[in-house]
Amino acid sequence: MSKDIRIKRGLSLKLEGEAEKELVKAPRSKTYAIKPPDFHALVPKMVLKEGAKVLAGDELFFSKYTDELRFTSPVSGTLKEIKRGEKRKIMEVIIEADPEDTYRDFGKMDAASSDAEAVKQRVLESGCGAFINQRPYDIVADPKDTPKAIFISAVSTAPLAPDWGFILKDKVAAFQEGVDALKKLTPGKVHLAVDASSAQYLKDIKGVELHNVKGPHPAGNVGVQIHKIDPINQGDRVWTVNPEDVTIIGNLFLTGKFIADKTVAVTGSEATNRKYFSITIGAEVADIINKVDEDVRIISGNVLTGLKLAYDQHISFFSNEVTLIPEGNNYRAFGWLPFTYNNIHSNSRTSLSFLFPNKKFKPTTNLNGEERALVVTGEMEEVLPMDVYPMQLIKACMAGDIEKMENLGIYEVSPEDFALVEYVNTSKIEIQEVIRLGLDLMITEVG
């Protein structure tokens, strides 16, 4: 049974530098890194010391406040370094990889016919709990909770987003097994959202409620889909899993191994080898992109929500995409004149870019202005297809007014849902951060 979701409001940015549909096996990186900051609000506690030998699937660290939540090594090798930041916060756990992976054997298991508690234990001990995110708050799920539903979005609408159909086409069996496992974790439904491309391969997946999603970005955001399908109320917990991570969970049950293989699309106007690469989680970004200088920004993820990387750093845990765009640290004379610099996209009509709806733009990282007070109204609603008042919610977050945030729907949103709002904002306010800080406040005050 499938239900259709049509999103009307939003904005699909068309950018230069889509990845070619060709899958290449990436060379094996020398080192792999798991970065605790990829898991928001996690306080890691190491179990191994530098120099320890690990197998793929061996525990590296766990969550200080939820010790069932384990994080395991994606490869086998030697724990080379624990990089720490301010206040000795663990920033990166770096593993020097063996030439070949040796996996820790968890034992095969048929998820569909197994006991729910056993499935949960298997997911947690293998480190697959890290793939499961919780809404509200957009943080790693607490295994003690029982979610009212689990959502998987195989819809790509983000700018230059990888095509889920292409990534998943050979992984359908693992995906099915992963869904069977996830079904054991919730008394509710597992919702799977697909677009035209992923529907070709996923339309026959059993045990899910299938939703055909159409519309501009952020239609592919799982938060928007949750809002349309089964909105989050105060006190609810729902979980979300990325589609390819479902296949990793599936493979765990099929093979008994934690095979942390992922497909990463290299995109963006400055990338020269724009292809899909098969990597292992935490690989070095330098292994799949061309050598670039300071004037190119490497983003792990898409241009709206991704994380800035240096050339010698590792790809983020959840990324299925690396984007390379030019830095924009240049001045533009009289850049404020309306109808000039029409090569820069604008959702407003003060640039003539709207006359070219099919043009692919080549954006830079220039802020195109300076931060100002919030003045313009109505622009945010145009790109947020939720029954939420964005400007009022943002102001409530800025003021730290918990009751107001709750009333205005803070539980239903995550920073990524506000990425487009941030993009179109005339006043150049860092809105994703405002929402994140608002959510953090809710975590400490409400939990």
Contact between 250 and 160 under an 8 Å Cβ cutoff? The reply is: no
The least distance separating another protein from the CB of residue 342, rounded to whole angstroms, comes to: 8
Q: Rank residues 176 and 432 by Cβ distance to another protein and give the closer one.
A: 432
Nearest to 251 by CA among 77, 37, 24, 56: 56
Q: Which residue has the tokens 């983003």?
A: 299
The residue from 76, 176, 263, 425 that contacts another protein (CB under 8 A) is: 425
Q: How far is the CB of 166 from another protein (least distance, A)?
A: 24
Of 65 and 339, nearer to another protein (C-beta) is 339
# residues near another protein by CB under 8 A: 76
Contact (Cβ atoms closer than 8 angstroms) between residue 357 and residue 345: no
- Contacting another protein within 30-49 (CB under 8 A): none
Minimal distance, residue 320 CB to another protein, in Å = 17
Site for another protein in 291-320 (CB under 8 A): 297, 299, 303-306, 308
For the bound state, the minimum distance from the C-beta of residue 70 to another protein, rounded and expressed in Å, comes to: 30
Could you give the CA distance from residue 290 to residue 270 in angstroms, rounded to a whole number? 9
Task: Provide the minimum distance between the beta carbon of 411 and another protein in the complex, in angstroms, as a whole number.
Answer: 9
Which residue number, 106 or 389, has a Cβ lying nearer to another protein? 389
Q: Which is nearer to another protein, 207 or 338 (CB)?
A: 338
List the interface residues with another protein, window 201-240 (CB under 8 A).
231, 233-234, 236
Contact flag: residue 371 with another protein (CB under 8 A):
yes
Stretch that binds another protein, among 81-89, 94-102, 110-118, 408-416 (CB under 8 A): 408-416
Burial degree of 99 (CB within 10 A; 0-12, 13-18, 19+)? exposed
Give the residue with the Cβ less far from another protein, 97 or 296. Answer: 296
Minimum CB distance to another protein smaller for 259 or for 298: 298
Should residue 353 be labelled a site residue for another protein when binding is judged by CB under 8 A? Answer: yes
Instruction: Choose one: 70-78, 93-101, 211-219, 422-430; the region binding another protein (CB under 8 A).
Output: 422-430
- Residues numbered 84-143 forming contacts with another protein, rule: CB under 8 A: none
Residue 92 DSSP SS3? strand
Q: Pick from 262, 337, 330: which is nearest to 300 by CA?
A: 262
Q: Is residue 334 classed exposed, middle or buried when 0-12, 13-18 and 19+ CB atoms within 10 A define those classes?
A: exposed
CA angle 89, 95, 101 (to 5 degrees): 145
Options 33, 391, 405, 439; binder of another protein; rule CB under 8 A: 391
Q: Are 125 and 105 in contact (CB under 8 A)?
A: no
435 CB-near residues (< 8 Å, 6+ apart): 393, 394, 397, 413, 414, 415, 417, 418
Task: Specify whether the CB–CB gap between 345 and 361 falls below 8 A.
Answer: yes
| Residue entry with tokens 């949750």 | 226
12 contributes a contact to another protein by CB under 8 A: no
- Candidate residues 357, 375, 444, 447; the one interacting with another protein per rule CB under 8 A: 375
Tokens of 150: 């689990």
The CA distance from 221 to 233, in Å, is 18
